[in-house]
Amino acid sequence: MKNTQFLKEKAVEIRKSVIRSLNAAGSGHLGGSLGLADVFSVLYFYELKHRPEQPDWSERERLILSIGHVAPVLYATLAEAGYFEKEELLTLRKLGTRLQGHPGRDHGLPGIELSAGSLGQGLGVAVGITLMDQHEKKDKRTFCILGDGELQEGSVWEAAMSAAHYKLHNLIAIVDRNNVQIDGKTEDVMTLEPLADKWRSFGWHVLECNGNDIAELGDAFDAKSNEKPTLILAHTKMGCGIPEIENDYTWHGKAPNDEEMERFISVLEA
């Protein structure tokens, strides 16, 4: 894929915005947001057919963010893409803001496709949207990002079953496989493995890649199936980009203080 340097730079800008907005809020989900910055860069600056100046464009491809608690990376990316001014990111989680702790379609922020936060809902919505596009013979894709801990919700598997049944080849789900969730390692909380085999047995085309490698992500999106729904197991590091917090689940839902913010941003700029 071309433009990997451009996409890497966008991912750095997204991470910096995430850190600044969480610092301003004094709370929020840092680890998962940083871990997904590369996925968001590739989606919004390479893959998605969308128009930031016309958020409701009927021919747009949608990203359904099922793990709503990583809202900061969605907000940072939308601002980077021009949906709204970056300075609004500093209103994250403030009273009356359009940037609530979890994304809400009724708060007026452009680019939000799903009110999310209650886990296990997004894939079912993505199935419905893809089914509608298939019915209307529109050849456009729908993307859905799920957390790995989120896969412990039964509704995910009901949606997975229906996507295969309806042969939704334009549905691409991405699992943020960082091996951790709010209380610790996924395999200690509720075993997910063998995860790729589970999705295959549900009738999905399964790909695995390093979710923090721009080129590998691009190759994975290019290798989608034209017959089945595609699942990308994106192996990411929670907190990616800031070595001192990488894979540390205590940063799942913590904000950097002023000193940490300056240090983290200087690491990203180095």
What residue ranges bind Mg ion (CB under 5 A)? 147-149, 178, 181
Tell me how crowded residue 106 is: count the other CB atoms within 10 A of its CB: 8
- Whichever of 31 and 103 has its CB closer to Mg ion, that residue is 31
Report in angstroms how near the CB of residue 119 gets to Mg ion at its nearest. 11
Report in angstroms how near the CB of residue 139 gets to Mg ion at its nearest. 32
Show the DSSP H helices in the chain as ranges.
Answer: 4-25, 31-35, 37-42, 71-81, 122-135, 154-165, 186-189, 195-201, 214-222, 258-269
How far apart, in whole angstroms, are the C-alpha atoms of residue 177 and residue 35? 10
Using DSSP bridges, classify how beta strands 180-181 and 184-185 pair: parallel, antiparallel or unpaired: antiparallel
Tokens standing for residue 241: 């980009």
The three-state secondary structure class of 139 is coil
- Whichever of 80 and 148 has its CB closer to Mg ion, that residue is 148
- Whichever of 147 and 229 has its CB closer to Mg ion, that residue is 147
Q: Which of 175, 192, 184 is nearest to 248 (CA)?
A: 184
Report in angstroms how near the CB of residue 32 gets to Mg ion at its nearest. 6
The terminus-to-terminus CA distance of the chain in angstroms comes to 25
- Whichever of 81 and 234 has its CB closer to Mg ion, that residue is 234
- Whichever of 111 and 147 has its CB closer to Mg ion, that residue is 147
Report in angstroms how near the CB of residue 1 gets to Mg ion at its nearest. 26
Report in angstroms how near the CB of residue 252 gets to Mg ion at its nearest. 8
